[in-house]
Structure 1
Amino acid sequence: MTIIKVLLLLGLLLVGLQAFRGSSRPVHKVLWRGFLVLVLVVGALAVIFPDALTWIANRVGVGRGADLLLYGLCVTSMLVAVVMFRRLAELERRYTGLARALALHEAAEHPGGEA
Structure 2
Amino acid sequence: MNLFQLLIIGFLFITFYRLIKKVRDRQVSQGLFLIWFVLWLAVGVLVIFPSLMSRMAELSGIGRGVDLAIYIAIIILLYTQFKLYHRLEEQDKRISHLVRKIAINNAQKNANPSRDNPA
TM-score range, shorter chain: 0.5 to 0.7
Aligned residue in 1 for 2:80: 80
Q: Which has the larger radius of gyration?
A: 2
Match status 1:94 vs 2:94: yes
Secondary structure, in 3 states, of the residue corresponding to 1:47?
helix
| 103-112 vs 31-40, which moves further | 31-40
Secondary structure, in 3 states, of the residue corresponding to 1:88?
helix
- Structure 1 residues 88 and 30: alpha-carbon distance in aligned structure 2, compared to 1, 3 A threshold: farther
CA deviations over 1:49-96 (Å, ceiling 9, x no partner): 112111111121111110000110111111111111100000000000
Secondary structure, in 3 states, of the residue corresponding to 2:111?
coil
Aligned residue in 2 for 1:110: 110
- Alpha-carbon distance in structure 2 between the residues aligned to 1:74 and 1:35: 18
| 62-71 vs 103-112, which moves further | 103-112
Q: What are the ranges of 5 or more consecutive residues in structure 1 without an aligned counterpart?
A: 1-28
1:41 deviates by 2.8
Pairing 1:1-115 to 2, within 5 Å after superposition: 35-111=35-111
Letter paired with 1:73: A
Letter paired with 2:104: L
CA RMSD of aligned residues (A): 2.2
- Alpha-carbon distance in structure 1 between the residues aligned to 2:51 and 2:80: 27
- Alpha-carbon distance in structure 1 between the residues aligned to 2:35 and 2:72: 13
- Alpha-carbon distance in structure 1 between the residues aligned to 2:110 and 2:48: 65
- Alpha-carbon distance in structure 2 between the residues aligned to 1:31 and 1:78: 21
Secondary structure, in 3 states, of the residue corresponding to 2:63?
coil
- Structure 1 residues 31 and 65: alpha-carbon distance in aligned structure 2, compared to 1, 3 A threshold: same
